[in-house]
Amino acid sequence: MADERRRSAPAQVLDREATAEKVTPRLKARYRDEIVGRLREQFQYGNPMQVPRLVKIVVNMGVGEAARDAKLIDGAMRDLATITGQKPQLRRATRSIAQFKLREGMPIGAKVTLRGDRMWEFLDRLLSIALPRIRDFRGLDVAVVTTTESDEEARELLRLLGMPFRES
């Protein structure tokens, strides 16, 4: 009993995390249970490893005005951290462009690469909460990287996940 009280707080936190039950993200469970079967049926995959899957999501925010006001980049970094739940990486200019008053090495944006459960949770929030409420996505780029061989397969995977596409 006395040994347990003497243990440091971080050790107790680690013990709780180790015994805590791992919860699978909702969209990831849906992918495994429904979407994989539909894709195998539609594209006639013989091997289950051929079924397209998500690799990563890269969220990028360019802040062109940061060349004039350095405080804007801090706000963008804070916003991106809030949106993704992960610390963003500062992106710097690779070359100087005189017309934009930009010098090599100046901070011009931020990016976050999401993988694993964080990727699935972000995509679920993006598709179910953010996209239905927003008409245009200014300044924020979301790149979804998949293992598909063709655009048709990628489009079908994203459609089944709930990505809204404009009918053309």
pLDDT tens-digit series, residues 99-130? 888 889 888 889 999 999 999 999 998 888 87
pLDDT exceeding 70 applies to what percent of the chain?
83
CA angle 93, 134, 107 (to 5 degrees): 10
For 11-37, the three-class secondary structure string (H helix, E strand, C coil) is: HHHHHHHHHCCCCCCHHHHHHHHHHHH
Can you tell me the distance from the alpha carbon of 37 to that of 47, in angstroms, rounded to the nearest whole number? 12
57 and 122 Cβ atoms separated by less than 8 Å: yes
Which of 147, 146, 142, 145 lies closest to 125, judged by CA? 142
> 23-161 in CATH: which number?
3.30.1440.10
Can you tell me the distance from the alpha carbon of 154 to that of 151, in angstroms, rounded to the nearest whole number? 5
Can you tell me the distance from the alpha carbon of 60 to that of 7, in angstroms, rounded to the nearest whole number? 42
Per-residue pLDDT for 5 more than 60?
Answer: no
- Mean pLDDT of all residues belonging to the chain: 83
Can you tell me the distance from the alpha carbon of 143 to that of 148, in angstroms, rounded to the nearest whole number? 14
